[in-house]
Amino acid sequence: MKFLNVDLEGIQSSEISKGFLLATVLAIFIFIALSFTLLYNIHIYSKMPKNIYFFDERDYLNIGALVTAFFILPLYFVLVKNIKENSPLRLFFSFFSAIAVFASNILLLIYAAAAPVIHSKYKLDWDVQVKYLYEHNMMFWIVTLLIIFYFGIEISLLRKQTFRKKDTFGGSREATVDDLKKADLIVPKKYNKIQKVNNYICYGKIQGYYIGSKIPFNSIVISKPGGGKGTSATMPFMLDCPFPIFVNDIKSEILQVCSAHRYDYFGFKAIIIDPYNWLLEYDPAWADKQTLHIDFCNIGLENIEINEYVTVLAAAIAEPVKDDKLKPFTSGALTVIEGVLFYVISQKKTLVDFFNIFADNNLNNIGKLLESYNSTLKLPSNTLKKAIKKIKECYTKGQLSEFGAGVSSTISEGIDFIGDEAYFTMFSKGDPERTFDIKDYLYAKADIYLIIPPHLVKKSRKFVKMVLGVIRSGFTLGSAYLKSEQYPIVLDEVAQLGYVEDIEVLYEVLRFEGVSLKLFLQDMAQLKVYQEKEEMFKAFDVLQFFEVQGLSNIRYIKELAGKTTVENKSVSQKENSKILNNKDKNVSTSLTGVDLMSNDKIREASGNKQILIIKNSPIIICDRNFYYQDSRYKNHYAENYTRKELRHLIDKEANLIKKKEIVENRINMLLDKNDTIHNLPRIEEQAKTILKRVDEYESLIDLLSDDLDLDNQEQDDFNQIDGVWSTNIEKTKELLSAYIDDQEKLEELYAYMIDKEYILQDENTVLFRFLNKEDNTNENN
């Protein structure tokens, strides 16, 4: 219990007899009874003779003040200090005595103010009233000031004692509603329903109040797999947030649940990037809303700074490595990739063209291409110059050096994902109306949903990084287009993406543009991938923990929660009187510092509870907001067909058939747009030829050794084929074997073979020359 901000429960004293307690209570009742005589005196003054008074008012005023100061007030403190803690009797007496003391003093003040009016026969003569108060009630005012002084000293001592106890070994505590109100984290009741303007973003609920803020905070959500991060963190955030959002949507559930509401309430259309067409498995009707093409070489921003932009894209293609031996290869690959990207963007080409440049040419030819283009520029590009220089460093006396082989291998590994069939149509040019334009997002007209199936997140990390790089470039290179105050970015399964430099940049550099991050992890230990920046992420404004299990999570919560001071009591008791049934009790106390959040308290927390750590607030234990249960979100969300209980409503067989038709139609449209001739017999023959060549490849590697008399061009061809193809032999054989005898799949095969450069269309390609060289080598041997 607290009285005038004093923790009365924490004040201890020796036991006193029941008789003394009884005397204290009786004194309070007597004092109250005498106080009511004042009202009686005032009531009958003008109606009855003066001798009917019980006391002269001046005497009573002085006596009452003295009794209050020197008897009732000390007994009050003794009383509340000695009744057993948590006793209903203590609660009753402490509350009643407090009311009694202050009510009585209020009555004294009423009478003191009324008496002058009565003695002046109700004439409002202010001079007479003031003089009367001064002459007849001087003692009362003096004693009242003494009471106030005495009471202040008592309160100060008690508060000092209480705070000393609380802070001795730590003063941590759980947040209360008052704490959150002071930190401006409680949502006003009038905003308990979602608003179209001035809406709040809610994080949880405590004692019926929503915890929230008007702007999105940088936050991390930690929970075990299946812990409900989506239902109580992602979905409420998406339904609440009135700003344009970029989100990597695992399983497409966020889009299904929230996109309609966000369009109706906040006016954000959905830009759907779904390279694997995962969304169509739930409802093919989404096909008309999908973004079919992403031209990373032209993201819709005018006058873009190419040199800066190619650095961002290249970093996503050639990922950084930890091995010091491989770092020179990665550095060299980045320089070459930046040069080729500069050429491709300047020529208004696509990533498919970028891929083909490396697939159809060795490094030497690429260097000549860049050198020729740079010579045509009025102001030669330093990016191209550095790429040309680095390519020359890859050769020693006309031969590809070990460094050059490492650079070539790194480039091949980096660009491999571009040739994936899932991205073939997406990276090609297509319908401008269905092509990604970042300006809609920057103008605060759209949300971006990047849909990646759960089992393909790790495989797709380069693509995700490239998209994040585009978003980052949109803020840095397209700042003139920014129309929103805030741009929250929601990233799920962050650990599977590995190290992403763009996440660091988005947080450290772009906060001034309103960028905020909401990251989802399964364990705090997953932040170790960021090494020296790990503590930076741990210092986010909001940390949310659901169903905590991991030891690293438990330890981290305990450290952040801090220590609190508890009082340990040891009691010895001896009975010494049968009359009053008194007992002598010796109480000794000691203070100890303990963790505010113990292991079992954290681990055994209810699944409906969460641990919230928010800036400027003590640690918070509060309820989770499940969007499908909370009244705030009622009628604002659509069905989530990824949930097990709703999957029976999906006609999977019909959806798969429809999905196949949609995808095939898109491929045909793309092939027709590129004026491709569908020559099925020729495709089949080429497929058989390639399969035969690939089958012989491993034995030919031994024949094509340094002992052969190969000229420089032939050696370059061999090195390139060896680096790119040796890792794909088994996959190629398996793929082609499945397609050769299946006429229905030949058209799809054709698209795949173009993508992988398996088809011998051009006699000048490296592959064509190499296969012919194989024939010559076999004949010579």
Given the structure tokens 């089949």, which residue do they identify?
Answer: 684
Alpha-carbon distance of 98 to 557, in angstroms, equals 40
- Residue 454's pLDDT is 86
Alpha-carbon distance of 211 to 196, in angstroms, equals 19
CB contact at 8 A, 283 and 655: yes
Given the structure tokens 């003779």, which residue do they identify?
Answer: 49
CB atoms closer than 10 angstroms to residue 131: 13
Q: What is the mean pLDDT of each run of 10 residues along the chain (781 residues)?
A: 41 43 56 53 44 44 53 56 51 57 59 52 49 53 58 54 55 86 92 88 94 94 87 94 94 93 95 92 90 85 82 88 86 95 91 89 91 91 94 90 91 86 81 87 94 88 90 83 90 87 88 91 86 85 88 85 75 56 61 78 85 90 93 93 79 83 74 42 52 52 47 56 51 54 54 51 42 41 34
- Residue 184's pLDDT is 92
- Residue 738's pLDDT is 54
* Domain range summary for the chain, segments of one domain joined by +: 2-167, 201-280+445-562+598-633, 306-424, 565-592, 676-780
Alpha-carbon distance of 202 to 242, in angstroms, equals 12
- Residue 458's pLDDT is 84
Homologous superfamily, domain 201-280+445-562+598-633: P-loop containing nucleotide triphosphate hydrolases (3.40.50.300)
DSSP 84: P
Q: In what order do the strands lie in the sheet with 290-291?
A: 209-213, 201-206, 620-623, 609-614, 542-546, 219-223, 515-521, 487-491, 246-250, 446-452, 269-273, 290-291
Alpha helices of 276-362 — where are they, by DSSP H?
306-317, 327-346, 351-360
- Range 306-424: architecture per CATH: Orthogonal Bundle (1.10)
- Residue 652's pLDDT is 79
Rg of the chain, C-alpha, whole Å: 40
- Residue 563's pLDDT is 80
